[in-house]
Structure 1
Amino acid sequence: MHLKAVILLGGPQKGTRFRPLSLNLPKPLFPIAGFPMVQHHIEACSKLEDVSEIFLIGFYQPNDELMRFIRRQKQAVEKPINYLQEYTMLGTAGCLHHFRDVITNGAPDGIVVMYSDVFCDFPLREMLAYKKKFMKCLILSVEVPAEQSLNYGCLGINHESGEVIHYIDKPETFVSRDINGGVYVISPEILQDIGKIMHQRSMAISAMEEQSDHVNEYTNNVSTNLGKMFLETDVFPKLYSEGKLFAYQTEKFWMSIKSAGSALYANRAILESYKRYHPDRLSLSKSCIGNVHIDKTAQVDPSAVIGPNVSIGAGVIVGKGVRIKNSIILEGTILKKHCCILNGIVAWHSVVGEWARVEGTPTELDPNAPHATTDNFYLFEGDGRLRPSITILGQDVVIPPEVIIRNSIVMPHKVLSRGFKNQILL
């Protein structure tokens, strides 16, 4: 079987809940468990021998950092990896339609599509084995608690045949606990179906304009966004009505990485997965407790105690007596002696002073929900109040000695003079 793989990156207008961590770096390149988020997707695709080419599609500018990452990945996986830049945000279906000729070049038998902000065990082999020829589009489906399902596309599934008999994106009321997991295996003819839907929309707009004496605001807006189309709202409802949409249900780990809190939980999950797939990425140092990844260029004092669930980036300096637990420490950070980092993310080139304490509230799944496999970990309550959450220090933040920063978000380039609690420091 000849396959192509497509990873949808989104663009700078997306990922706003990920700020301030996405202010200086495209969200898909944010390091989780020591490596860029999208690298875990590329590695999953590259393990499929039948995948001949991997495409990254997004609205990000092809800057030096993105292109260097792609070059490194080409060398690592030994497969062609190409970045396709959208001319505007086209949506999850619109971008597939726009680049359809490039994706289908060489007549692949199937296309693996995944979103860069989901992480799971990526059961791609199982999905390919499950997919029959008449299944034109196969969706990875996971089961979540009813209250969480409202944030995702919900599937009504015939559990005997696997056919999706109903699909609605982000319903206002409960529909199903089976949700869209953001990983698909599609037949190339689905791209033709997207083109037909696009054509039907174009014809409908033309008819509206002909019937109207003038182009009103509504038709002008629809015409402007003609090329913008989404799998979840425009395509899947059409496919299930034609009997082309099917679901592969999994009970393996899955989560959506929408906010910084969920990134920290994903860090923990990916570090745990390293024990099975990449044990060489875990530190064996005596100063480490549990799963810890330390970049080979980092300098860690032997008296420091690190872990569990910690990743330390390139060039980080960890001083004498430092304690780090359940945290991400990014490139170039300096942690001076006897400081403490608990449940937090310290961004690039920040400095934490001696005996300072940076502490957040750990993000945990609800232990009373037996099928809880994900959470959005939003930073705000419905009334706008800041939730007790992880602490985030943006890029180039300086924390003075002997202060406590707790449950706070500090924007980049701030030099603090005292401690804070439950604050967003702009």
Structure 2
Amino acid sequence: MMLKAVILIAGPQKGTRFRPLSLDVPKPLFPVAGLPMVQHHIEALASLPDLREILLLGYFPAQQLQQFVADMMATYKIRIRYLQEYQALGTAGGIYHFRDQISSGNPDAFFVLNGDVCGDFPLQEMLDFHTNLTTPSLITIMGTEATRQQSTMYGCIVEAKDTHQVLHYVEKPSTFVSNLINCGVYICSPDIFKRVGEIFNSRQDFYSDDSEGNESIQLEQDILMPIAGTGQAYVYTTDSVDPSAVLGPNVSVGKNAVIGAGVRIRESIILGNTTIQEHSCVLYTVVGWNSTVGAWSRLEGTPCDPNPNKPFAKMDNVPLFNNEGKLNPSITILGCNVSVPSEVIVLNSIVLPYKDLPRSYKNEIIL
């Protein structure tokens, strides 16, 4: 399989919320977690073994991105080019305008990523989903869940749960439609150019008396909304965190983890392929890979961080056992493949891998 990728980075009149900083630095180059924002996209894309080229599309002056593109090519050893639009063409209009550049080499599919999206990009998993569809997809959307209140600020997706086909799509609805929202990451078949071309030609006919025409075509409103329910669009749903779950502060959730309704997690690490069932509470705990925590259970450890309000505070190397041979209170740790039943409390304990806990535990090491 041969792949390409397009990153949409818009242009200088956008990013007004970042002013005055954005007067000197293009929004895509704003530092996030120590790297320019769009470098996170490039890093994720460069890890795909079949990706041959990354194209940045926008209407920033080329000289503003020239050094960045050169640095990225040297860092990731992949071909990267910046294609400058002559005006704002929209999320689909720019793709159509540079269709020959995207199609050169006959890629089997191409990614499209909005440049202002931040997060962990599970691109390989999304690609596997796209290629394994029984019905060829014109476009696959990456989706995630939001709260009912948040959802109206994004594109909302109604999917068929069994097939993941997009049945209905509304961009920023005025009323609630769905908790499943558009992440701004897509995989497109090259056949999508035909669909965009039809819209472009109809726009030209409609605006034939207008010397400037209307070449701005939006992927969300002009493409996704009309093809929803036709079997040509599918949604790949990322790690499942129920909108009613409350996470943070200081929480890390691994890939393919499932967080149920009403769950509360803080000061904890949830590793990959773990299931935290509804209304569980996880505090100061590390939950190992492939583990399951039953409904209404509580995992809690004792924080051992130094007090930042005390001068010269430092982390103490506290021994595992005290002078009486008892386990010192510390964070709770579950090894991999641990099963915690419903309505159980595990407090200040360490659980070795592959254990099915039959009851509650306090200040114990479960061998």
Q: Which residue of 2 aligns with 1:236?
A: 224
Report the equivalent of 2:113: 114
Deviation of 1:243 after TM superposition, in Å, equals 2.2
Deviations 1:360-394 (A, max 9, x none): xxxxxxxxxxxxxxxxxxxxxxxxxxxxxxxxxxx
2:204–2:213 Cα contact (<8 Å) kept:
no
Partners in 2 of 1:117 and 1:252 — Cα distance? 22
Instruction: Check the 8 A contact 1:114/1:184 in 2, yes or no.
Output: yes
Whole-Å separation in 2 of the counterparts to 1:24 and 1:158 = 45
Q: Which amino acid aligns with 1:236?
A: L
TM-score under structure 2 length normalisation = 0.64
Paired letter, 2:46: S
Q: For 1:335-384, what per-residue CA distance to the aligned partner results, in whole angstroms no more than 9, with x for missing partners?
A: xxxxxxxxxxxxxxxxxxxxxxxxxxxxxxxxxxxxxxxxxxxxxxxxxx
Question: Is the CA contact 1:155–1:179 (under 8 Å) kept in the aligned structure 2?
Answer: yes
**Counterpart position of 2:124:** 125
Matching residue of 1:22: 22
Aligned to 1:43: 43
What SS does the corresponding residue of 2:207 show, helix, strand or coil? Answer: helix
**What's the CA shift string for 1:41-68, capped at 9, x where partnerless?**
000000001000000011101125x211
2:235 maps to 1:250: no
Partner SS, residue 5 of structure 2: strand
CA drift at 1:252 = 6.1
* SS of match in other structure, 2:201: helix
Structure 1 residue aligned with 2:277: none
How far is 1:97 from its partner? 0.3
Q: Deviations over 1:132-190 (max 9, x none)?
A: 25112000011101111111111111111111111111111111111110000110001
How much does 1:225 deviate?
4.8
Tell me the amino acid that sits aligned with residue 237 of structure 1. Answer: M
Matches within 5 A, 1:76-225: 76-131=75-130, 132=133, 134-206=136-208, 209=209, 220=210, 224-225=212-213
Match in the other structure for 1:226: 214
Q: Secondary structure at the match of 2:235?
A: strand
CA RMSD of aligned residues (A): 2.7
Unaligned stretches of 5+ residues in structure 1: 210-219, 254-267, 277-304, 308-320, 322-426
Q: Deviations over 1:182-217 (max 9, x none)?
A: 0001100012210111112222334xx5xxxxxxxx
Q: Partners in 1 of 2:19 and 2:251 — Cα distance?
A: 21
Partner secondary structure for residue 119 of structure 1: coil
| Structure 2 runs not aligned, ≥5 long | 242-249, 256-268, 271-305, 312-367
Correspondence 1:7 to 2:11: no
Query: CA contact under 8 A between 2:142 and 2:236: conserved in structure 1?
Result: yes
Tell me the amino acid that sits aligned with residue 214 of structure 2: L
1:292-331 superposed matches below 5 A: none
Structure number with higher relative contact order (C-alpha < 8 Å, ≥ 6 residues apart): 1
2:292 aligned partner: none
Match of 2:118, SS state, is: strand
Across the two proteins, how many residue pairs are aligned to each other?
Answer: 250
Determine the C-alpha separation between the residues in 1 that align with 2:40 and 2:234: 25
CA distance in 2, matches of 1:118, 1:20: 21
- CA–CA separation in structure 2 for the residues paired with 1:163 and 1:13: 36
Q: Which residue of 1 aligns with 2:52?
A: 52
Secondary structure of 1:57's counterpart equals strand
Q: Which has the larger radius of gyration?
A: 2
Instruction: Write the distance in 2 (CA, Å) between the matches of 1:269 and 1:103.
Output: 39
Letter of the structure 2 residue corresponding to residue 89 of structure 1: A
Is contact 1:4–1:108 with CA below 8 Å preserved after alignment? yes
For 1:179 and 1:73, the matched residues in 2 are separated by: 30
Q: Which AA in structure 1 matches 2:173?
A: P
Question: Following the alignment from structure 1 to structure 2, what is the Cα–Cα distance between the partners of residues 47 and 187?
Answer: 20
Shift of 1:2: 0.4
Question: Letter of the aligned partner of 2:72 in structure 1?
Answer: Q
Q: Which amino acid aligns with 2:228?
A: Y
Residues 213-248 of structure 1: per-residue CA shift (max 9 Å, x gap): xxxxxxx4xx63521110011111122253211100
